[in-house]
Structure 1
Amino acid sequence: MRVFVTGASGWIGSATVDELLDTGHGVVGLARSDASAAALERRGATVLRGDLDDPDSLHRGASEADAVVHLANKHDWGNPAESDRAERAAVATMAEALVGTGRPFVVANALSGLVEGRSVLETDPSPAVGPGSDRGGSENLALDYVDRGVRTVITRFAPSVHGAGDWGFVTFLVAAARRRGVSGYLGDGSATWSAVHRSDAARLIRLGLENASGGTRLHVVAEEFVTTRAIAEAIGRALDLPVVSVAPADAGEHFGIVGSFFGMTMTASSELTRKAVDWEPTGPSLIEDIDSGAYTR
């Protein structure tokens, strides 16, 4: 298949591009900068210049492809409403280009905020509906197109997609530990995160693209439960720093932007996902990655 990938030069996107190319697919990657374009070309992908605010490039990429993988997001923490607006508009543009084709449209979402008090299940619908909701309600918007001849597949990502080179939440925690001279966790450290290695995430995206039915939600989760205290202890070992509890009221000051997430439980089951597309994670665990020095080299 000729696959159009947004976010193709990002952390998850670049691994997905490699996975697709290695398994015989062609890739057209959306690139907004010369550096991103050059990186994609080095991987063997075709480049389409544009970004999430360029509907013409999004429509062209989707309409000329056999499948679409949408991984890009503005992640504008200072203006989340703008990120949500752009996300909804991008999903609508690409979905409209795919109406009536039966082609796969893989759309990324996060696990945070979906349910409280238990792990999220693939059968749980997202509560985000409409333009004013989280990510502009893009998951539900994309699923609305199943009845219009689009094979929408939702991929919900664990809060930690880890590996050497990661610039996500764990990288911020490591930076805070270096800055503070201690590796901290919030409260009693019982909050839990799900996690997945980057290589396993890329393989699941490819399997979903190839095999999942329209309307399927896939959970990109290898480990359902990793306590935040265990994460802090692994960072402490890797940096040879003491491990301490941080009061929740001091989360922002101590951890910076990641503080608001570190005390949250964000977990999901992937039991149905594994059965749906015959996916079995094989990469290292989050703690193994930290212990190996992946975040401290």
Structure 2
Amino acid sequence: MRVFIAGATGYVGSAVVAELASAGHQVVGLARSDSSATTLSELGIEVHRGDINDLDSLRAGARNADGVVYAANQHISETTDSALRARIELAAVEAIGFELQGTGKPFVVTSGVIGRTPGRLLTENDDADISPLTALRLPVETSVLALAKRDVRSSSVALSPTVHGLGDVRGFVSMLIAIAREKGVSAYVGDGSNRWPSVHRLDAATLFRLALESAAGGTRLHAVAEQGIPFRDIADAIGPRLGLPVVSISPDEAAAHFGPLAPLVALDSPASNTLTKDRFGWEPVHPGLIADIEQGHYFTH
């Protein structure tokens, strides 16, 4: 299959590129810069110049592909304007969808599980609670999944908040480590019992491939290897590696300590992977989050 990938040089996208190429697919990567183009070329990946703001480029990439993966990261962006980022991404997936309608081709979009059903286990069939956290991001996933009604084999891969592994320098784990270094403590909010799902980036990449190859239109998959790790366990894994105390802070102190992450760090957001594993035979095989942190690679930069 000739697969066009947006976000091909990103943390998750680069793992998806490698996974698809190793499975025999012909990969075409979107590259917005010379350095990204060089990175892809050196890997033997065909380069398609453009970015997610260039809708004509996205349409052309989709038109000439047998399937599309949108793996651009919705959490981490060069813009701090989340509403602007959401509008850009919605326009991007709608442009791709326009080209794919009526073709029966697969279109896999990146989504997320955090904050969808706070305090209760999220399954693949659950609708998200509408909140400031989810409202901006949901239209992208909803738009893509709705393409199933227009003969597109559309699906979403909802990532855990902690997509961990080698090369993670801008994700949530790296952010938490940076905050601990700055503040001199590894902190959690309250008793730290709130849960965060996690997945290794290589296990997530496998799920993207399975979605591309076999997901029916309108399917939501959960890239969740561990359905809920208590946040205190994450703080406990970070503190000793930095030689710092692990402390509880109050909800009122969270904003000053965690900054932009404050709305997330106290969320209890467990998510199930049962339907994903049953439907696609997906079995995560790489280290879990705490084991990965304890390997030490997060602390070398």
Question: TM-score if structure 1 supplies the norm length?
Answer: 0.95
Kindly state the Cα deviation for residue 258 of structure 1 after the two structures are TM-superposed: 2.0
Which of residues 281, 284, 287 is equivalent to 1:278?
281
Counterparts in 2 of 1:260-279, with a 5 A limit?
260-279=263-282
**2:235 is equivalent to residue 232 of structure 1:** yes
Preserved contact between residue 73 and residue 83 of structure 1 (Cα < 8 Å): no
Kindly state the Cα deviation for residue 136 of structure 1 after the two structures are TM-superposed: 6.0
- Report runs of 4+ in structure 1 exceeding 6 Å deviation: none
Kindly state the Cα deviation for residue 281 of structure 1 after the two structures are TM-superposed: 0.2
1:6-61 per-residue CA deviation (whole Å, 9 max, x = no partner) reads 11100000000011111111111111111111111122211111111100110001
CA distance in 2, matches of 1:42, 1:76: 25
**2:297 is equivalent to residue 294 of structure 1:** yes
Kindly state the Cα deviation for residue 259 of structure 1 after the two structures are TM-superposed: 2.4
Which of residues 87, 105, 117 is equivalent to 1:115?
117
Preserved contact between residue 6 and residue 29 of structure 1 (Cα < 8 Å): yes
SS in 1 for 2:29: strand
Preserved contact between residue 172 and residue 255 of structure 1 (Cα < 8 Å): no
CA distance 1:123–1:228, shift in 2 (3 Å): same
Which of residues 150, 159, 164 is equivalent to 1:157?
159
Preserved contact between residue 193 and residue 267 of structure 1 (Cα < 8 Å): yes
Counterparts in 2 of 1:1-297, with a 5 A limit?
1-73=1-73, 75=77, 78-126=80-128, 133-135=135-137, 137-166=139-168, 167-297=170-300
Kindly state the Cα deviation for residue 178 of structure 1 after the two structures are TM-superposed: 1.1
CA distance 1:243–1:128, shift in 2 (3 Å): closer
Question: Partner letter of residue 146 of structure 2?
Answer: D
SS in 1 for 2:103: coil
Kindly state the Cα deviation for residue 4 of structure 1 after the two structures are TM-superposed: 0.4
Gaps of 5+ in 1: none
CA distance in 2, matches of 1:171, 1:41: 28
Kindly state the Cα deviation for residue 255 of structure 1 after the two structures are TM-superposed: 2.1
CA distance in 1, matches of 2:102, 2:289: 41
CA distance in 2, matches of 1:187, 1:249: 10
Kindly state the Cα deviation for residue 230 of structure 1 after the two structures are TM-superposed: 0.1
Question: TM-score if structure 2 supplies the norm length?
Answer: 0.94
Question: Partner letter of residue 220 of structure 2?
Answer: R
Preserved contact between residue 195 and residue 231 of structure 2 (Cα < 8 Å): yes
SS in 2 for 1:268: coil
Question: Partner letter of residue 225 of structure 1?
Answer: G
SS in 2 for 1:115: coil
Preserved contact between residue 197 and residue 229 of structure 2 (Cα < 8 Å): yes
CA distance in 1, matches of 2:49, 2:61: 10
Moved more, 206-215 or 228-237: 206-215
Question: Partner letter of residue 272 of structure 1?
Answer: L
Kindly state the Cα deviation for residue 126 of structure 1 after the two structures are TM-superposed: 4.1
SS in 2 for 1:210: helix
Kindly state the Cα deviation for residue 117 of structure 1 after the two structures are TM-superposed: 2.4
Preserved contact between residue 237 and residue 291 of structure 1 (Cα < 8 Å): no
Aligned length: 295
CA distance in 2, matches of 1:189, 1:57: 45
Superposed CA RMSD = 1.7
CA distance in 1, matches of 2:142, 2:22: 31
**Aligned residues: percent identity?**
48
CA distance 1:73–1:171, shift in 2 (3 Å): closer
SS in 2 for 1:276: helix
Kindly state the Cα deviation for residue 116 of structure 1 after the two structures are TM-superposed: 2.6
Preserved contact between residue 111 and residue 159 of structure 1 (Cα < 8 Å): yes
CA distance in 2, matches of 1:128, 1:263: 18
Preserved contact between residue 161 and residue 197 of structure 1 (Cα < 8 Å): yes
SS in 1 for 2:299: coil
